Amino acid sequence: MIFSQGARRWLLVMASIGLGLCARAQMPALTPPQGLPSLQDVSVEEYRHHLDQLRGLVADCGRVVTACNPESVGNDDRVHPLQGQPYAVRYGWLRTLMDDRDPAVHRSRTELLAQAEQRLSEQEEDLDHPKSASPLKQEDRVQRDRVLASKEFEVVHEYSWRERASAWLSEKLARIFGGAASLGRIAPWLGKALEWGSLLAAITLLVLWIYRTLDRQRTALGKLTGEVSKREAIEASRAWAELAQIHATNGEWRDAVHCLYWATIVLLEERRTLRRSDTRTPREVLQLLVVSPQLREPLAAQTVAFERIWYGFAQATQEDYESAQQSYRSVKGVAMGAAI
């Protein structure tokens, strides 16, 4: 089944929205929310005391759910060590863990609280046993310099407009699908509605595609049939005209006029201007063409001459044949849609 590019893009968007509605987060992202709180300047001891308070908060939260209060975490710290530059310590991940409104956090709270307590303990151990960077060996420095001298580190360039556009689009889609997932939790029926709507849209597009395909085939068949009918009309009429030419060559003007008349009638019948009939008289033919004066006038002149010669046994001459031939050409030009 072949769809247009616009239809495929529309189906892809609908399917993505449906997947977004059905998606559920299994684990919370322990990242600080947007709008980071201010930093408070603390010493090493104050920082250690803050870590002890946070471990107590984690323990209380594990025992009583009501103790899980994000505001109890306090501000983030800017630690001023005895040596070295100050550094910031953020607790956004802990505030997210304390937020009881998130059902994903609530379901896995026990495991996450254990991880939080371990993380706080590791932060305090870093105070007691600070990690110092050992000096590089000569071989390591050579290896480092070789890596930094490679081609990918020689030129620093900004992101291209394609990369920026792709990042912007990804961010917008993430927001849309994130909102759709939240909406799916509020209105579970919406996922089913979109699912059935997408299915109905796909069926509709399929029906339209089948209809258009059959319509194109019918049009092509009509054109082909018209061409075949046109060729048949030309061949049958040409056979009568050639027979008339043979009679005219032999000086048989009466038979030549008779054959030209039937060449004209066969042409009109093959072009469906006239219905086939073996009992219709020449005068009845003229009555059927009363609505088409372009065909009726030359055929009327040919019919009068034909009746006078064939049925009235009048003497036929070369002028009668040439007049009948001119009438035949005029009718043929109008019937075939081309000037003769």
Say which residues have a Cβ less than 8 Å from residue 252's Cβ, sequence separation at least 6: none
pLDDT at 30: 41
d(C-alpha 304, C-alpha 115), whole Å: 112
d(C-alpha 314, C-alpha 254), whole Å: 9
Closest CA to 110 of 73, 57, 62, 58: 62
pLDDT at 206: 93
pLDDT at 23: 46
d(C-alpha 217, C-alpha 143), whole Å: 71
Closest CA to 331 of 291, 298, 305: 298
Residues carrying CATH 1.20.120, the chain: 227-335
pLDDT at 253: 92
d(C-alpha 72, C-alpha 56), whole Å: 11
d(C-alpha 185, C-alpha 183), whole Å: 5
pLDDT at 100: 64
The model's pTM is: 0.34
Contact 302, 264 (CB under 8 A): yes
Q: Radius of gyration (Cα) for the chain, nearest Å?
A: 47
pLDDT at 338: 43
d(C-alpha 69, C-alpha 97), whole Å: 9
Residue 41 pairs with which residues in a beta bridge? 78
d(C-alpha 321, C-alpha 238), whole Å: 16
Neighbours of 102 (CB within 10 A): 14
Give the β-pairing of 87-89 and 76-80: antiparallel
Contact 205, 7 (CB under 8 A): yes
Looking at domain 227-335, its CATH architecture is Up-down Bundle (1.20)
Averaged pLDDT, groups of 10, the chain, 340 residues long: 54 58 42 62 90 90 84 89 85 83 68 89 80 69 79 64 86 73 64 83 92 82 59 75 90 91 86 78 80 81 90 90 89 68
Neighbours of 35 (CB within 10 A): 6
